[in-house]
Structure 1
């Protein structure tokens, strides 16, 4: 059933007329913030390997972005060129994002957990000219990895290393020279961000967003939460995801507020940061919330200013919502979104106590949803169906994949999720049509893992499913039928995926050996039966 947004004009002209699209660009947000409060602190950058945080005012941030933009131009980066950025929550990421916008380049954030296998595909597919990495982060040498891939990256012209020394260092390459006069940069409907997401196929898909869709997200979230320039936002969610990038970093500059970057999530330190800096809002997956509650209970500083927590990626246990309210005085608001959709539905603070544990919210302003049955007709209240969505925050398509169906004739995008709607228009995600599992808010590419494991000499058949975990939402279990005379265990599986250079966070955390996989008469694996078996492993390690 479609909610009461039936009068929403989902044309581009309609978005503009209604004020959902502001026809501004990402860099214009920074320019406006500088004009209003040039000496206000824009960024407080905390790093786990340093005792003191680095601070930048809006004026200083714009100066750095101008220098970086000019330097990128001198490196041959122009309108429409892709800059791939594999940085943690460091200030260099923020500078690069605004620098790209100033010259019309495309920001391509990727998660620090990715390794050669995923990165080679992404960098070659989008023909990135520049790849920006940390020198060393959490004990891993990213600079060595990037240089080791150069021979397989024919389009890549420059590797820039944050914290790097010498001529390839971020400061040496991008910040030492004064800014030149910049040409007109990004346009509101140009692709501003390219973010890859794991889907049901073995290949990641490049999701294209414009400044209009990104800023529509900021406008909707600020309205639903009642945020303004006095707010202080914690960026603990990775900036390589839309939660960290759009729902916190860009939102903070849209507001003219202050963002607090935390590069390594450690709950006690995070709680101390929030208390010291007066953080009022953050967005993250369920594990972050649970960790904060546990840390404060164990004696960490209580973040008294924190009043709003946007929580998505997995259902929020009611006991956790009650804990947050009782122990932190915190309102937890459930959200459903995805890379293609940004923030689709959200429970507003006024109804969070009632709705956040049982629903994933109602459509944000400028967004519309519909739950349909197998015949494409609106599903009755309370009955599950496919979740369709359309509106001002939608992506503009998949990069270089015009053959992939995105929107139907009425502008609806099939999310691939199953949901049902209550009488108030709030939805609840009840399952997924697409074959992924979500671990700690991270989509795990099940098909790619299975395809790799099928190549293992000891594997005859394999199916990967999720099993419940209180902290992470789900963990992965690989059900394997060994070849005759062979055996395989978790250690061997993880070592094999490591040799294949797959991100560690995607590795299954449990292996179960079976004589055969449950199948339909036509031979299709019955994953629902495997999920029933795996449910018994809940919270197991």
Structure 2
């Protein structure tokens, strides 16, 4: 890959990515078929829970069969097909089958309940819903029955693992391979192909609408920066319903001829490591909390993970102490990614040979064919390097818009720049440090406090397993700091007083948490992002703060 292009002014927080290799100007279906032609006999997909595996040729046969079946029952280009299920091979088949016929796949969060399901089905205008029957405590079939009478546009529901699925596939012979090829040839790579609902903390979620070009290229370049080839086998315990699973996972694999390995329907640390061992995975994905759970298993040393050379950690910044453990385990090429659903998702990524400091202090540098800047959120002016501001990104990855919400789209995208709402600092070398959400920044007595810095320090405490810092209301200072802490097993809970002693002389006095909450877990989204809004609400109420 060529050296990163330099911007006109090296003093400003603005940089652009490499321009080689060129962008892929194919649809997802055409790109997938090209990979099959190159690697027909290489393993493409393994579903551990179902005990099933496919070569690329076999996967193409099943994807095309499902695509023809969907056409036969009336699904056409532009129709919205919902998928509501945990990770499974049928999810992957549906992803590629809908792409081949130009139907828009709508990802539905597996954690949704009836109220949220009703909203998404209606807002996206979903006419076909492919769903699991149930998962964990969720009875999907019952919730669908509850909302369906109110949604006349929902024409058909297909439950995976029931006669519904087999009945659907039975219609495949009603459509010829030539008819499918004709439809596929008529698609444009700028067509909308995927809607992903962002987990809004207030109000209803918004449907980020993404094209073939958006997600195919993002998956490809994420894989490029992990140095993927057809020899790689990627363990994907992160959810398919989110970009992490279906783009950084599936599309990164199929653009390189690598193998997608599904360890389980939902995340389980022991099953994930067993899968890495049994399937000889070369790459492992997860958010930091997943890696923490895996590396803290009592029998961690019993798993052979020596085949893993790379992977992706995203969702939250990587704690330095955790990266040390990964490197000690032989995973020296782990990369950190940063982005958002609206940008397909990745905007910055570490390179496999980056330094330890670059992988723990930053989220990498700009991705190929993208442009990033740090701007003053009030004025919009690009700030000098080393000065915090809002991270913004521009290029092929920026979504088409929010589904049927042009007003919300206009608020988020200005002159092609996606406003992320995240606070970033660009270093002199172009690497970016994300210090939190603009709304997560704590202003204590006029001092701007970035929780990430404090969290990093708390990770160095020998008894602390994980830590999250939030701001809570304070009559004197406006806001005060509270640390939510997960203790290592077998250790005594830390007190606010002992934490202050630990921090004293190491952190400025205004950065030392006043309150401490000892918890077993943090409130999270399904993708592993910490819900700090919920943590603030809980703490404020518990401590009687106003």
- Place the TM-score, normalised by the shorter chain, in its bin: 0.7 to 0.9
Would the aligned equivalents of 1:315 and 1:357 in 2 still touch at CA under 8 Å?
yes
State the Cα deviation string for residues 33-52 of structure 1 (Å, max 9, x = none).
Answer: 221222222111012xx5xx
Q: 2:167 matched to 1:172? A: yes
Aligned to 2:424: 419
Aligned to 1:287: 289
2: CA distance, partners of 1:302 / 1:85: 34
SS of the equivalent of 1:304 reads: coil
Would the aligned equivalents of 1:46 and 1:261 in 2 still touch at CA under 8 Å?
yes
State the Cα deviation string for residues 175-204 of structure 1 (Å, max 9, x = none).
Answer: 564352313233200001111102364021
5+ residue gaps, structure 1 = 8-13, 439-462, 472-504, 519-541
Question: CA offset at residue 378 of structure 1?
Answer: 2.1
Would the aligned equivalents of 1:90 and 1:261 in 2 still touch at CA under 8 Å?
yes
State the Cα deviation string for residues 21-70 of structure 1 (Å, max 9, x = none).
Answer: 321111122211221222222111012xx5xx211122221121222112
1: CA distance, partners of 2:298 / 2:230: 27
Would the aligned equivalents of 1:200 and 1:434 in 2 still touch at CA under 8 Å?
no
Aligned to 1:393: 397
SS of the equivalent of 2:86 reads: coil
SS of the equivalent of 1:309 reads: strand
Would the aligned equivalents of 1:280 and 1:306 in 2 still touch at CA under 8 Å?
yes
Which of these residues, 48, 52, 55, is aligned with residue 54 of structure 1? 52
Would the aligned equivalents of 1:282 and 1:309 in 2 still touch at CA under 8 Å?
yes
5+ residue gaps, structure 2 = 9-15, 442-450, 453-478, 488-529
Would the aligned equivalents of 2:374 and 2:391 in 1 still touch at CA under 8 Å?
yes
2: CA distance, partners of 1:408 / 1:435: 23
Q: 2:223 matched to 1:222? A: yes
1: CA distance, partners of 2:543 / 2:18: 59
Q: Which moved more, 1:64-73 or 1:169-178?
A: 169-178
Aligned to 1:408: 414
Distance verdict in 2 for CA 1:466–1:260, change over 3 Å: farther
SS of the equivalent of 1:295 reads: coil
Aligned to 1:76: 74
2: CA distance, partners of 1:73 / 1:152: 26
Question: CA offset at residue 266 of structure 1?
Answer: 1.5
Question: CA offset at residue 140 of structure 1?
Answer: 3.0
1:265-414 matches, cutoff 5 A: 265-295=267-297, 297-341=299-343, 342-373=345-376, 374-404=378-408, 405=410, 406-409=412-415, 411-414=416-419
TM-score (norm 2): 0.76
Question: CA offset at residue 4 of structure 1?
Answer: 5.2
Distance verdict in 2 for CA 1:513–1:288, change over 3 Å: closer
| TM-align CA RMSD | 3.1
Q: 2:541 matched to 1:513? A: yes
Q: 2:433 matched to 1:428? A: yes
Distance verdict in 2 for CA 1:251–1:151, change over 3 Å: same
Distance verdict in 2 for CA 1:338–1:466, change over 3 Å: farther
SS of the equivalent of 1:223 reads: helix
TM-score (norm 1): 0.76
Distance verdict in 2 for CA 1:258–1:470, change over 3 Å: farther
Question: CA offset at residue 298 of structure 1?
Answer: 3.5
SS of the equivalent of 2:183 reads: coil
SS of the equivalent of 1:194 reads: strand
Aligned to 2:103: 105
SS of the equivalent of 1:513 reads: helix
Question: CA offset at residue 312 of structure 1?
Answer: 1.1
